[in-house]
Amino acid sequence: MSPDAHLSTLGIEGPPHPLLTVIERAGAAADDQGAYEAAFFEVFERLDDLERTLHGRRFLGGPEVSDEDWRLFVVLVRFDAVYRGLYRLNRRRLDDYPALAGWLRDLYQRVPDSIDLAEAQRAAWAARPDLNPSGTVPLSRPDLWAPHDRDRFDPEQQRQQGTEDVGLGPGGAWRRGRSRFRGRVESTEPGRYHAILADNCPWCHRVALTRAIKGLEDTISVDRVYYRRDPDRGWQYRPDIAGFDADRLFGHRFVRALYEREGSTERSVPILYDRKTERIVSNESAEIIRMVDDNWPDRGPRLAPPALVPRIDRLNAWIYRDVNNGAYKAGFTRDQAAYEFAYHRYFAALDRLDDILAERRFLCGAMPTEADVRLFPTLFRQDLIYSIRFKLDKKLVRDYRFLSRWLDDMLTVDGVRSSSSLENSKQGYFGRTGSNLVPPP
């Protein structure tokens, strides 16, 4: 498939980006060294210009993808696999341009079925026996499923709103809702704030981890709800079962009743509740853990120290999208393409995380931070739950040298092991759908 044909499959009329003309001049130069070098340097000057443009905006024209982006996409998606080697444009790989490479992955992951890059590579190399007299085809192709950072241009995406699984959207793809309660902690008086958590829920798990790591068990009280939800009323209190609590706020049987007191139809956990005002402060886990760390800076380690917040936020953005929420997008969809999309993103992200952790003990250095706390609940569940329940079976955490070391190190952090119940997690996940059979301990 040529770039022109590729554009047609994307529904875009007209020619590819003018960069292709310069690239083709390098390929057509044959024995003309001067013409080849002129095209060579112009290609990289244009790539330098595009890198500068995309460093400051998500897409070529601004915040929204346009036809111009797609015209460039059909060219650059072939750059490393075809043009760099075949036309000897080997000054840099596309991965040497961070903004361009992220932009390319962002677009590819929207239309992964639009091109068979391996076939396009084979066809291009076979079509030029003058440049490829041996007829062999390179095996290397860029990893277009690797995470990208382009969500940083979308503040709403960065907020990571929503912790309730609300079911399937159009076409069977799974979608997550948005949390309505987005208040702030007003004081640090012991006993004022109360959390409602479920051990099997990864969004609750990150709140439980933060509370335990910071040693706030005597300051923020907790009710632990049962790991299986009522089919009609959702999360439920089951004090009759060992390890689970009654509702110490109002004596309700179901968490939903607390929302109904405030006129809301939501039913998700975690919840952070203010006993003094008798109002829900927040039901967005990402904001709860940041508030807890900011408001109790002297209790336990700082998980989001101000100097590291920009790095933590960048990590959180793609880890949430590709790993935390990505696991759910693979596990709860009924659409094969949506499952495969989430699957590839998930394992590309784990590969990237393994590379990061090859150079440091935790994601941001020698000590765990909020980024580690947010990653941990997903990887804690990967080997014994998600690999089967969500069909994320390409690799286990133990198959990764540095991720597995990181998981072991996280379990040695004060408060982590005591806040992590794999058995309750298995009961919650495997008891939800299908055969209801739960793997034994």
Q: Which positions are annotated as active-site residues?
A: 201, 328
CA 395/CA 205 separation, integer angstroms? 23
The CA-based angle 231-232-234, given to 5 degrees, is: 75
Helices (H), 270-382: 285-295, 309-319, 325-332, 336-357, 370-381
Do 91 and 44 form a contact (C-beta atoms < 8 A)?
yes
CA 229/CA 235 separation, integer angstroms? 5
Three-state SS for 64?
coil
Contacts of 136-142 with C-beta under 8 Å, sequence gap 24+, read 138/81, 138/85, 140/80, 140/81, 141/80, 141/81, 141/117, 142/80, 142/81, 142/93, 142/94, 142/95, 142/101, 142/104
> What number of other Cβ atoms are within 10 A of residue 44's Cβ?
14
Question: Is the CA virtual torsion 146, 151, 153, 158 positive or negative?
Answer: negative
Looking from the CA of 187 toward its CB, the CA atoms found within 13 Å total 8
Exposure of 132 by Cβ count < 10 A (0-12 exposed, 13-18 middle, 19+ buried)? middle
Within its chain, how far is the Cα of 245 from the centroid?
32
Q: Which amino acid is at 173?
A: A
